Amino acid sequence: MNNHKLRIAALAAGTALVVAGCAALTSSHDAERDAVALMKKDFHSRGQATLDRLDQDEVQKACTRYAETGKLPEGEAQHLQQAQLATVKYPADGDYLGDWKAGEKIAQTGKGKQWNEKPTAKAGGNCYACHQLAKHELSYGTIGPSLYHFGRTRGYGVDMQKYVYAKVYNPQAFTACSSMPRFGYHGILTEQQIKDVVALLLDPKSPVNQ
């Protein structure tokens, strides 16, 4: 085979690969679209479980795209974190601490966002599913880091209170693709509930800091 024919064969092979790649991308996009359409057809809003959770926002789409590698490119991660930080609605009264006793109940409650929950019922944080919070707890999750002695090791000041409030409100503002729920952003917890959770972590009298 002469050089001219080799060049033609190589060009044809390259074109075939590009076409195949485009077809795969189109197929992947179509499959995702069809899957969402199927879920929206078969699932129905009931109680606190609504169909809007099937629609991915900017962060969720980005995290899905890079799910296989497990890490977003640094520039994109910073962009998403800045955008998510802008969504945090801080308390108008400037007070970030609530009642740690109420916060402990919230941390131990896993109710909320389920089909059998009344729309007006308050949800819980279910914090113990992922974190250790107090020494006396015999069972807790390890998906997230231990928060025991959180205030004692990080300080109790206003800057830390504001940080923790924002972290609970929208953890994606600090760690893109975090597994932690966006409790405030998605309206899972109310402003007062978030304050109570902040108090659980930062009140010196809380069992977290004993």
Q: What is the pLDDT of residue 52?
A: 77
Report d(CA 167, CA 184) in Å as an integer: 9
Query: pLDDT tens across 172-203, in order?
Result: 999 999 999 999 999 999 999 999 999 999 99
Q: 46 or 166: which carries more pLDDT confidence?
A: 166
SS (H, E, C) the chain: CCHHHHHHHHHHHHHHHHHHHHHHHHHHHHHHHHHHHHHHHHCCCECCECHHHHCCCHHHHHHHHCCCCCCCCHHHHHHHHHHHHCCCCCCCCCCCCCCHHHHHHHHCCCCCCCCCCCCCCCCCCCHHHCCCCCCCCCCCCCCCCCCCCHHHHHCCCHHHHHHHHHHHHCHHHCCCCCCCCCCCCCCCCCHHHHHHHHHHHHCCCCHHHC
**Would the pLDDT of 12 be above 50?**
no
Report d(CA 70, CA 58) in Å as an integer: 17
Q: 60 or 51: which carries more pLDDT confidence?
A: 60
Query: pLDDT tens across 98-137, in order?
Result: 999 999 999 999 888 777 788 888 899 999 999 999 999 8
Average pLDDT over the chain, rounded to an integer = 85
What structural domains does the chain harbor?
Answer: 43-210 (1.10.760.10)
